Structure 1
């Protein structure tokens, strides 16, 4: 007796999870290249930090456009083109010899690639395909895959750098990123027409109407500005924490282990956030997550920095790291529906990336100016309270749209 064939949703979840594992796993290791590249090429830390900041900014600026393409034409072509750009960007990053070539490869090419291989596009497709009652959990599972990539690939990336040098390590990662292509080929996302069948029988607004609705929706802007804080914090920590710990006289392996712990515990954090989002208010959960971040960051910068405190910070931040992603995308889906989820999620993510740009660049700039990361840590702590205040009043209600008027 033959087994029943796997559903398209199974292949979408499998392919999307692996793509996120590879894409975000490689990306989260970029902070390990800051010290060796800056030392070998005679740069200050701001040069590398600026390239990463450009990457995050371009990623965010292009994300709504990439999301709109995925909503219109499906996820497969978007992810496959982005996977090729990712490999090319890593290859050229390994050959870089000037700040300009670093910005072109790390900043522009990889920034474009990430817009098609990360959360907004993948979770948009999953959000359309999943039943509404399981949507939050499905997004949490896929988000956890990105965290698994961080946990698995960070030690491997450090091993490549130590064994081969930073340039050859990037060549190896370029080859690894090509695995995105076969997994992209097995994914099939719902078309807009198919997605609308899973919603209530309300009119399907045009793209211009959707954008106008979002622009008029005050809670949409609160969500955007709250997500700005998430981007600031995770990119500052992801890029600068390994160097910060070296400055505190801890061995280089400590920073790698901390970021790996962030990835490991974020698997539980993102999955748990997705499950909790099915039962409780997502905006209030987001506010609570940012307040917990304040506790973890505050304890880390106030207590003496040791290996034990660094590992504790990695565990605590890991549980809160990307737990914001399934909740934020879930709110967008609940309020605006799933037809244009990749595009609207991309707009929210743009603000995340504006924060990422500022966090990545400001960390390097203030370090070069003051010789310390203390001021950026204090800004990160203050922003936790700002984000909690922004997310708390958001109302998670479907947007009321006027009924269809049939032509005479």
Structure 2
């Protein structure tokens, strides 16, 4: 089950990490402004965020397999539409709307929560960390593949190849719905309704802090994933270094996600998250302020990879620890909406600030500062499990 989750995540997350490589070709070959291309990439993050609670709720109720299948088809349709798009509007609909819906059904809120629901509480953080680490394999392999196909055959061929990859991963969703043999039914109160779980979560101060802090993760990752290749070109670095950096981030994320899952099983997850955001913020500031070289880019990519997606198993694991797994897909989906609002702003503001000022300096400074704020938000989170009150009908006399 962990292997199937890792392969689905590899396809979905690896493909979306290639989008930064298409900004230049879309701009030069099709004459589209960088702001519009960045908006399309940013929009898929926003659509992903708003669709995630619904995708998570559907997986909670119907299982992961049909949700993953639907998402793979939507994802592939968006890539095909972007490949043949003659105008900016079709690009926005394809890479923005359809891809956003597809990603919401094929990534963390559906895939990782399926793993977390089956794993025991002692092994949940490690299991989700392993699945997330394996999911980074797609970034390592798919980003260079997209770069090579784009250089040899153009962006249309590259996007069509990516569409086939995500469709090939769809049948693996069947494995995510495997369950351990059911034990004998236990007499007791019925599980809380979705409305009761959401109400309790919204009143929980730790859940609010976790949700606000998750905004920073999305903001940082979307900006770097979308604009790092272009920024390196502006710094007179080799053109292929951007793709190399993204691949290295994926490679080191495999170790980082596993390590975060391991640490989350042994230490309080909010403390691990706080240190992770702090390290990431300091690394971003140092990379921006220090002179650029191929060695500094490699070191930056390695540090960012170690702290890249380790936030996801830690955050989802913390939600499961506090609220249980019955509505994990939905509760994590609501929290993830904040992450994706940050992703939208990180990707779009990067292009907007560059078009207005001709530089990425302001957005680099904001990205570093956000890491320090997120660290301060996570350390005081209360991770004590809560009991959600269930309003049941009164017993008959």
Taking structure 1 as the reference length, the TM-score comes to 0.93
Residues 316-327 of structure 1 mapped to structure 2, 5 A cutoff: 316-327=303-314
Aligned-pair distance for 1:195? Answer: 10
Aligned-pair distance for 1:400? Answer: 2.6
2:368 to 372, 376, 381: 381
Query: Structure 1 residue 301 and structure 2 residue 294: aligned?
Result: no
Query: Structure 1 residue 370 and structure 2 residue 357: aligned?
Result: yes
2:60 to 66, 71, 77: 71
In 1, are the aligned partners of 2:196 and 2:388 still within 8 Å (CA)?
A: no
Q: Which residue number in structure 1 is paired with residue 87 of structure 2?
A: 98
Aligned-pair distance for 1:13? Answer: 2.0
Query: Structure 1 residue 355 and structure 2 residue 342: aligned?
Result: yes
In 1, are the aligned partners of 2:83 and 2:157 still within 8 Å (CA)?
A: yes
Counterpart-to-counterpart distance in 2, 1:321 and 1:181 = 25
Counterpart-to-counterpart distance in 2, 1:153 and 1:379 = 29
Aligned-pair distance for 1:97? Answer: 1.8
Counterpart-to-counterpart distance in 2, 1:33 and 1:401 = 47
Residues 3-402 of structure 1 mapped to structure 2, 5 A cutoff: 12-190=1-179, 203-402=190-389
**1:16-49 superposed Cα distances (whole Å, 9 cap, x missing partner):** 1111011111111111001111111212211111
Counterpart-to-counterpart distance in 2, 1:196 and 1:238 = 48
Structure 2 counterpart SS, 1:186 = helix
Structure 1: segments with no counterpart, 5+ residues = 1-11
In 2, are the aligned partners of 1:296 and 1:313 still within 8 Å (CA)?
A: yes
Counterpart-to-counterpart distance in 1, 2:59 and 2:137 = 24
Counterpart-to-counterpart distance in 2, 1:189 and 1:120 = 17
Counterpart-to-counterpart distance in 1, 2:102 and 2:278 = 32
Equivalent residues, number: 395
Taking structure 2 as the reference length, the TM-score comes to 0.96
Aligned-pair distance for 1:204? Answer: 1.1
Counterpart-to-counterpart distance in 2, 1:159 and 1:359 = 27
Aligned-pair distance for 1:169? Answer: 0.8
In 1, are the aligned partners of 2:323 and 2:387 still within 8 Å (CA)?
A: no
In 1, are the aligned partners of 2:5 and 2:135 still within 8 Å (CA)?
A: no
Structure 1 counterpart SS, 2:366 = helix
In 2, are the aligned partners of 1:203 and 1:401 still within 8 Å (CA)?
A: no
In 1, are the aligned partners of 2:192 and 2:390 still within 8 Å (CA)?
A: no
Aligned-pair distance for 1:397? Answer: 1.0
Structure 2: segments with no counterpart, 5+ residues = none
Aligned-pair distance for 1:189? Answer: 4.8
Counterpart-to-counterpart distance in 1, 2:310 and 2:140 = 15
In 1, are the aligned partners of 2:322 and 2:384 still within 8 Å (CA)?
A: yes
- Tell me: CA distance 1:393–1:357, structure 2 relative to 1, closer, same or farther (3 Å): same
Counterpart-to-counterpart distance in 2, 1:135 and 1:201 = 25
**1:44-80 superposed Cα distances (whole Å, 9 cap, x missing partner):** 2111110011100000001001100000010000001
Aligned-pair distance for 1:203? Answer: 4.7
Greater CA drift, 343-352 or 393-402: 393-402
| Aligned Cα root-mean-square deviation (Å) | 2.0
- Tell me: CA distance 1:38–1:205, structure 2 relative to 1, closer, same or farther (3 Å): same
